[in-house]
Amino acid sequence: MMRPTRLRWRRFAIGLLAVLALYAGFIVWQRERINRMPTPDMVLLLPADADLRDPLVQVWRDAAAETGTQLRIQRASDFLQPLRTQRRPIAVVMPDSVHRRASPALVSGLQDYVRGGGSLLLTFDAAALSPRGTYDAQNAPLSALVGVEFAMYDRLGMRSTARGAISGTAAAMQALGIPPGKYVDGPHGAELSTYSYGRVNYPHYVTRGAYDGTVLLRAEADGSVVAGVHRAGAGRVMFVNLPVGYLRTRSDGALLHGVLTYFNDEVARLPRLLPTPDGVGGMVLNWHMDSNASYAALDVIEQHTRLLQAGPFSVHITAGPDTYKPGDHAGVGVDTDPRAAAWIARFMREGHAIGSHGGWIHNLFGNGVNERNEAEFSKYLDLNFASLQRATDHPIVEYSAPNGNQPQWVTDWLDRHGVLGYYFTGDTGMAPTHTYRDGHRSDRHTWAFPITTYGAAGSFEEAMEAGIPLPTIRTWLHSVADFTAEQRTARLMYFHPPGVLLYLQPMQEMVDYTRSLGLERFRWYTMADLARFLNRREAVRWSLTAGDRDTEMLDASGDLAQMTWTLPKSRYAQPVVIAGQATVADDGATWLVRSAPGRALRLRLTHVAPPTRP
C-alpha cells in the first residue's frame, strides 16, 4: 500500500503537470491568435528577383513617402509563409511592370488573403502572367478575385489591350486626388486630360463581364473597367487597369499618387501623414515676369485688384535687359531699370518670395537650352541668380523654366546651388513631388511643383487662345481652391502679368473666395516655404505597431511641428495622446492629429470594431 505522503506528492505532480499543460496550450493559442492578427501596415509585394533600385520600384516608395502612407517591402516568399516570418499585413500592393509573373501558390495565397479579410491593390499587369511569362488560357489568374475578366490574350490576341481616353464622375476624379482641370467635361462625363495634348491616351486591358463593385474610371472607347473596388469574401480588391507605376517614370504621376492615397484611406483605412503644414490645404501662385511688358500689366493689377495684398506668392523674374535676343532692350532689366527695383521692393514688403525665371534672356534661353549645351548656357543661370541676389540681398531658392524647358543638367545645377523648388510642366495636377523623367528620378533634393492646368491650357494666354470663356475659368479657379482645402493638399498655378489681365476678374474673385475659406481651411504658400516644410516632413519617422487587444500604437519622431495625421473614424475611435503634445480634432469622417513642436509623439489608437484577420 502507497504511503499517504507519497500519494499526496504524486497527486500534486499530476496537478502541476496539468496546469503546465494548460498554460502551454494557452501560450500556443495566444501566439496563434497574434499570428492571425494583421500587422497594421501596407506592403509592396515584390518577386524575389526584384531590384529595390529599379525606378519602377522606387516610384512606389517615393509615392508612399510623398502621400504620407506607410509602405514596406515584402517578398512574395515571405508573404506566403507568415507564421515563419511575420504576420500578414492589412493591405497588399501589387505593382505593375514589376510583379507581372505569379506562381499558382501566390495566386492561391492572394485569394485566401483577400477572402479572409485582406485588402489588395492590383495594378494593370501585376500577376497577369504565369511563372513562364505566358498568359493563362482564359484570362488573368486573379480575374475572379478582381471581379471582371481581363488579360484575355488567348481569346482576343492583340485586341486584349487597347488605348484611349479615360472617364469617370467628377466625384470619383476628386476622390482619386485628381484636381479640376486635370479632368474636364467630356462626352462620357469627367475626362482625364493632360497639358498641351488634351485627353489622355492610356493603355488598358479590355475587360468583360458584369462588375459588381464600385466603378471609379472606365475606358471611353470600350467601357472597360479602368479603376474600381470589388468585395471578395471578407476583403476587398482595388483594381487599377492602368500602368500607373510606368506612367510615373514618364513624368505622369498624378494617378499613382491618387490611387495609393485612395487605397490607403478608403480601402485599407490606415493613418496618413498629410503633405501640408498643420494639414491645411492651399496653393502656390507663381508669377512669371519675363519682359518689360510686365510693368504696364502690374500697374493695372495694382490699380484694379487686391492681388498684391494677398498671398504670399512666388514671383519669378528673368532679370536681364533683353527678352528675345541680345540688344533688344525688351527685358525686365533688374540691374538697369529703376522700375524693377521698385517692384521687387514692393513684392518683398508684401511678403512675396522672389525667384529666378530661367536664365537672363527669356526666349533665347527658353528656346535654346538643351541637354548638350550646359557649357554655353549655364552662364545665363549664373547671371540671373546673381542679379536677383544683389537686388534682394537674399539667396534665390525658387526657379521656373522659360517655356517649361528644363534639361536634366539644369535640374542638377539647381540641386547644387541650393534651390528648394521649381515649377514643372510634367506630372500635371500633382502636389509638389520628386519627379521622374525618361525612366529615372530627375532630382535629388529639389522639389518639383507641377502646374495645375485647365485641360490642355496651362496659362491664361493658352486658355484665351483655346476660347475658354470667363465663366468656365471662374468656376475652375474656385473648384481648385475647394479641392485643395477639402483634400488638405497643395497645388501650383502660374501666370504672366500680361496674361492674367485676360481673366483678371475671375482671378481676383478666386483670391477673395480663398480669403472667405479662412486660414484653417486654405493658405497661400510660397514654393520655398512649402519645400522647407516638406524637407522636414521627409525626415520624420513614424510607424504603427499592434498593441494589446484591439489597439495600435502610432509613434513618430523628428521635428514634428505642424505635422498632421488623418485617421479614418470607420476604423479608429478618438486617438489618445500618451506621449508628446498634439491636438485631436473631429474632421467629419476622420480624426486630425496635429502635433505641437517637439521631437516625439505617441498615440494609442483603438479600433471601433475588431479588425479583419487576413
Q: How far apart are CA 358 and CA 508, in angstroms?
A: 27
pLDDT for the residue 20: 52
Averaged pLDDT for residues 79-100 = 84
Instruction: Give the domain 37-273 fold.
Output: Rossmann fold (3.40.50)
CB 443 within 8 A of CB 411: yes
Nearest 5°: the CA angle 241, 242, 247 is: 165
| H-run or E-run covering 510 | helix 504-517
Q: How far apart are CA 548 and CA 154, in angstroms?
A: 51
Nearest 5°: the CA angle 292, 316, 247 is: 125
pLDDT for the residue 590: 98
Domain locations along the chain: 1-32, 37-273, 279-534, 540-606
- The conformational region for residue 285 under phi > 0 = left, psi -120 to 50 = alpha, else beta, is beta
pLDDT in tens, 425-469: 999 999 999 999 999 999 989 999 999 999 999 999 999 999 999
Q: How far apart are CA 254 and CA 178, in angstroms?
A: 7
pLDDT in tens, 343-382: 999 999 999 999 999 999 999 999 999 999 999 999 999 9
For strand 314-317 and strand 281-289, is the pairing parallel, antiparallel, or unpaired? parallel
Position 33 pLDDT exceeds 50: no
Q: How far apart are CA 181 and CA 428, in angstroms?
A: 10
Instruction: Name, in order, each residue with C-beta under 8 angstroms of 92's C-beta and a sequence gap of 6 or more.
Output: 42, 43, 45, 74, 79, 110, 113, 118, 119, 120, 121
Position 26 pLDDT exceeds 50: no
pLDDT in tens, 253-309: 999 999 999 999 999 999 999 999 999 999 999 999 999 999 999 999 999 999 999
pLDDT in tens, 310-328: 999 999 999 999 999 999 9
> What's the pLDDT band for 17 if we cut at 50, 70, 90?
low
pTM as predicted: 0.93
Range 279-534 classified under CATH 3.30.470.20: no
pLDDT in tens, 123-158: 999 999 999 999 988 899 999 999 999 999 989 999
Which amino acid, one-letter code, is at 584? V
CATH number of the domain located at residue range(s) 540-606 in this protein: 2.60.40
Of the listed ranges 10-24, 88-102, 490-504, the least confidently predicted one is 10-24
Q: What is each CA distance from 230 to 121, 304, 430, 522, in whole angstroms? A: 11, 53, 27, 34
Position 34 pLDDT exceeds 70: no
Position 12 pLDDT exceeds 60: no
Q: How far apart are CA 608 and CA 600, in angstroms?
A: 26
pLDDT in tens, 392-413: 999 999 999 999 999 999 999 9
